[in-house]
Structure 1
Amino acid sequence: MPHKYSAPGDHIESTKPVTVSRYRGITRLNHWVTALSLILLAISGLALFHPSLFFLSGLFGGGQVVRWLHPAIGIVLFISFFLLFLQMWKLNLPRREDVTWVAHSADVVMGREDRLPELGKYNAGQKFVFWAMTGLILVLILSGLMIWEKQLPLWRDYAPWAATIPARRIALLVHAMAAVAIILVFILHVYAAFWTRGTLRAMTTGSVTGGWAFRHHRKWLRELAKNRKMSENSKTPAE
């Protein structure tokens, strides 16, 4: 059966109380590498952003270290998020129930789950964070390469316009604006993870309670239950 709302590795565990596997170990590791990279980039980037914040460079060993470390971590972030993107993009595509979820955003804030539609693995808010991160990381890596001096020979060969002073000034402005935006999206993501009780557990232990899955992502849970039943029915009885 095709997985419409679930990812490989998602399954209902045979435990009491019922728990549901939500993220594989490789996905959780990938997520935390991305999160750590983003935090380090935010701190080192702020140190380079304004003289009043330059003291933050002391956390990395000084300005000279930050100068090469910041773009290097940027590459790590891009690769790590790209791997995460490959695992999650299909389940983050917009669906009809997302429109209803957004229309009832007040009920989301008030915790009136009974007024919300049944959802797959991710709700519209989570999908917004995912696609916002995707777009902003692309903007950051492209603008970052334009202002990274070590890459100038490459840009002169394949994109001469990107190595000009005016182009680099525009890239700096775009990079700074995208950085502020992604920090705000990251804060929103962290707040939502703590605000919705039981969510953080998914990215630490890899599983959630059956009650949490039924309350927040019922379509996802129903699909897992259906897949499990089909799997059990397909097994040949022991003789």
Structure 2
Amino acid sequence: MARPYYSEPGDRIESTRPVTVSRYRGFIRANHWITALSLILLLISGLAFFHPSLYFLTGLFGGGQNARWLHPVIGVVLFFSFLTMFVQLWRLNMPRPEDTTWIAQIGDVVKGNEENLPEVGKYNVGQKFIFWGMSILIVVLIVSGVMIWEQFFGELVTIPTRRVAVLTHSLAAVAIILVFILHVYAAFWTRGTLRAMTRGTVTGGWAYRHHRKWLRELAGRRQRGPAE
């Protein structure tokens, strides 16, 4: 059997009356929420250190000292949780021929005229942008974060280098906050998306409207059967 092009092996049509499609397995969903929670905690603790007027946010962590040592530890958790998700999903987030047309018709995306858009696989260009944006920014954050983690790595870099790392870390943090906000907005804007990460399934209508090539591949796999 050929390797799926638009889907993962675990994706499948669970039922036909009504049509219900399995989009994310339990492990992926749990890992996604660990990543999201880690990012939120880093956002809050990072903002507390960003400006004195936001220092009160350290109270959510039990004070400044706790927030100071928890921030880099949570950063490591974020890196490895996202790495786990990256290993599973990177292939389906690679560019596809239809992505160029999708970008060219971005106006239809904003207006919600999806009937004018090309059929896409499990992820559209917007989702791929968020995935790769997160991937790059998390690498920048972990590398720059290690460089400024004085408790364990203070002697590995010079003070001028550490200053550059602090600036890089701050800029990457602002960028990932913007990408995260875009991700959350898109999840609420596209009705039915949150169900995929809470229940693991989507309706057949949702799959047909937003990710038709993905659904067609699953339907073809169902017709052929697991033995082929």
Give the TM-score taking structure 1 as reference length. Answer: 0.93
Q: Which residue of 1 aligns with 2:186?
A: 192
Cα-to-partner distance string for 1:79-115 (whole Å, 9 max, x where unaligned): 0000000010000001111111111111011111111
Alpha-carbon distance in structure 1 between the residues aligned to 2:9 and 2:31: 15
Q: What is the correspondence of 1:51-62 to structure 2 with a 5 Å cutoff? A: 51-62=52-63
Cα-to-partner distance string for 1:94-149 (whole Å, 9 max, x where unaligned): 11111111111110111111110000000000000000000000000000000001
Alpha-carbon distance in structure 1 between the residues aligned to 2:50 and 2:146: 17
Q: Which residue of 2 aligns with 1:206?
A: 200
Q: Which residue of 2 aligns with 1:160?
A: none
Cα-to-partner distance string for 1:4-58 (whole Å, 9 max, x where unaligned): 0001210001242110000000000000000000000000000011111100001
Alpha-carbon distance in structure 2 between the residues aligned to 1:62 and 1:99: 49
Alpha-carbon distance in structure 1 between the residues aligned to 2:47 and 2:113: 39
Q: Which residue of 1 aligns with 2:134?
A: 133
Cα-to-partner distance string for 1:171-214 (whole Å, 9 max, x where unaligned): 00000000000000000000000000001100000000000000
Alpha-carbon distance in structure 2 between the residues aligned to 1:36 and 1:228: 35
Alpha-carbon distance in structure 2 between the residues aligned to 1:151 and 1:129: 32
Letter in 1 for 2:91: K
Q: Which residue of 1 aligns with 2:90?
A: 89
Q: What stretches of structure 2 of length at least 5 have no aligned partner?
A: none
Alpha-carbon distance in structure 1 between the residues aligned to 2:50 and 2:101: 40
Indicate yes or no: 2:166 matched with 1:172. Answer: yes
Q: Which residue of 1 aligns with 2:74?
A: 73
Alpha-carbon distance in structure 1 between the residues aligned to 2:222 and 2:133: 34
The DSSP-based 3-state class of the residue aligned with 1:5 is coil
Identity of aligned residues (%): 69
Q: What stretches of structure 1 of length at least 5 have no aligned partner?
A: 157-162
Alpha-carbon distance in structure 2 between the residues aligned to 1:35 and 1:8: 24
Indicate yes or no: 2:123 matched with 1:122. Answer: yes
Indicate yes or no: 2:211 matched with 1:217. Answer: yes
Q: How many residues align?
A: 227
Letter in 2 for 1:24: R
Q: Which residue of 1 aligns with 2:13?
A: 12
Alpha-carbon distance in structure 2 between the residues aligned to 1:175 and 1:67: 15
Q: Which residue of 2 aligns with 1:159?
A: none
Alpha-carbon distance in structure 2 between the residues aligned to 1:61 and 1:15: 51
Alpha-carbon distance in structure 1 between the residues aligned to 2:73 and 2:9: 31
Q: Which residue of 2 aligns with 1:183?
A: 177
Cα-to-partner distance string for 1:47-71 (whole Å, 9 max, x where unaligned): 0111111000011100000110000
Q: What is the correspondence of 1:125-164 to structure 2 with a 5 Å cutoff? A: 125-152=126-153, 156=156, 163-164=157-158
Alpha-carbon distance in structure 1 between the residues aligned to 2:28 and 2:153: 35
The DSSP-based 3-state class of the residue aligned with 1:13 is strand
Residue pair 2:15, 2:21 contacting (<8 A) in 1 also: no
Q: Which residue of 1 aligns with 2:49?
A: 48
Q: Which residue of 2 aligns with 1:63?
A: 64
Max Rg structure = 1
Q: CA deviation at 1:152?
A: 2.2
Alpha-carbon distance in structure 2 between the residues aligned to 1:37 and 1:218: 32
